[in-house]
Amino acid sequence: MMLDRLEGNVELKSSVRLMLDSRRLTHSVLLVGEEGLGAGFAARCVAADYLYPQGGAPAEALVRGECCRAVAKAGKRDSGQIETGVVREAISVTGMGSGGKYLVGQVTAMRSEIFNTSLSAEGRAVLLYHVERMNEESANALLKVMEEPPEGVLFLLTADSLAGVLPTIRSRCISFAMAPVSPADCARYCTKQGVDAKAAALYSELFDGHIGTVLAAARDDARREQVEQALTLAKAAAAKDSYAAAVLLAGYEKEKAGAAALLADFRAVAAAGLRGSPRSPVQGDAARKALGAADAAMQRRSFCLCWPQNSEASEQEKQPHLRLLFSLSC
């Protein structure tokens, strides 16, 4: 089974395997997990096993994501259309609006496609990624087809968190939580995928067994450089070296996306230190303070790593501006 390629997640794999073997798989499955835990990969594996139980080239193509895609042009609500892919029996839908929000036209395009072509295939699979980004209008459009789906259609939904999914959607799905694997298992898996062993071990510790995140960091030069920057910043925090931190952060003064990405990776490094990972430059109380500073910075969109004698933040630090602030004192 393609689902066997998913590392860990024994409960998910055994439950889905039983349902597939008995052909009693519910028509709507929701896979919930943080970015990098493989919810999308798991959804494609389930779809491949459902549509092509014998495996083969179509199943492989589907796992790679080479299926049809439901799209819509922003600002034109009824312009939904289907982009042709290798695997016609599966449709992939990802929010294309501002901030990754779903457009109603996308859901409409998906609905039209499965109703028009469901009789031409033994089964159909619809993959909807990040359904927490659906507003009430697009969710209602989806509910109409989920309530009375065509015969043989399987909906596979993913979300970063269960709380972010509208209750009306949740109530019509069987839900599974994606779980991270151990850093050691993550490193072994990623090494088998061609990642350098040292990089796999480092990233697996820093990203706590989130395989997708580790692979993304290892395979992209810019992403690797970003992680190195976060590690350098953590070293400055550990040494209370405000000058080194200021030099590094100066390059992010006007770069919103880069600053946000740096914060996310710095938080991961601090969290690894709090878990006791020897690969993190910050440990113990320093890691706890760094993690708290990163969380606060991500909420107010500014960056202030502080170990001040006075616990009161300045008015400047409280402002939700994008300038990166870094203050280290004894």
Is 76's pLDDT higher than 70?
no
Q: Where are the domains of the chain?
A: 2-177, 220-318
Which of the pair, 71 or 195, is modelled with greater confidence? 195
pTM: 0.79
Burial of residue 285 (CB within 10 Å: 0-12, 13-18, 19+) is: exposed
* Per-residue confidence (pLDDT) for residue 327, from 0 to 100: 35
* Per-residue confidence (pLDDT) for residue 252, from 0 to 100: 79
For residue 328, name the pLDDT band (cuts at 50, 70, 90).
Answer: very low
- Summarised one tens digit per residue, pLDDT across range 123-164 is 889 999 999 998 888 899 999 889 888 888 999 999 999 998
For residue 301, name the pLDDT band (cuts at 50, 70, 90).
Answer: low
Q: Are 268 and 222 within 8 A, CB to CB?
A: no
* Per-residue confidence (pLDDT) for residue 98, from 0 to 100: 79
Give me the CATH code for the 2-177 domain, please: 3.40.50.300
For residue 118, name the pLDDT band (cuts at 50, 70, 90).
Answer: low
DSSP notation for 161-221:
-STTS-HHHHTTSEEEE--PPPHHHHHHHHHHTT--HHHHHHHHHHTTT-HHHHHHHHH-H
Residue 138 CA to residue 106 CA, distance in Å, equals: 9
Which of the pair, 99 or 330, is modelled with greater confidence? 99
Could you count the other beta carbons within 10 Å of the beta carbon of residue 148?
Answer: 6
Q: How many CA atoms lie within 13 A of 314 on its CB side?
A: 12
Average pLDDT over residues 186-192: 94
Is 276's pLDDT higher than 70?
yes
- Summarised one tens digit per residue, pLDDT across range 28-66 is 999 999 989 999 999 999 999 999 988 899 999 999 999
CA distances from 9 to 4, 12, 25, 65, 180 (A): 10, 5, 18, 21, 8
* Per-residue confidence (pLDDT) for residue 64, from 0 to 100: 92
Q: Which residues contact 87 (CB under 8 A, 6 or more apart)?
A: 51, 58, 61, 62, 66, 67, 68
In the sheet with 81-83, reading across from the earlier edge strand, the strands are 81-83, 67-71, 87-94, 124-129, 153-159, 28-32, 174-177
For residue 330, name the pLDDT band (cuts at 50, 70, 90).
Answer: very low
Residue 325 CA to residue 3 CA, distance in Å, equals: 45
Q: What share of the chain is helix, strand, coil (3-state, %, to 5)?
A: 50, 10, 35
Of 265, 238, 262, 239, the C-alpha closest to 249 is: 262
Average pLDDT over residues 285-312: 67
For residue 306, name the pLDDT band (cuts at 50, 70, 90).
Answer: very low
Take residue 191 and report the two structure tokens written for it. 């090494």
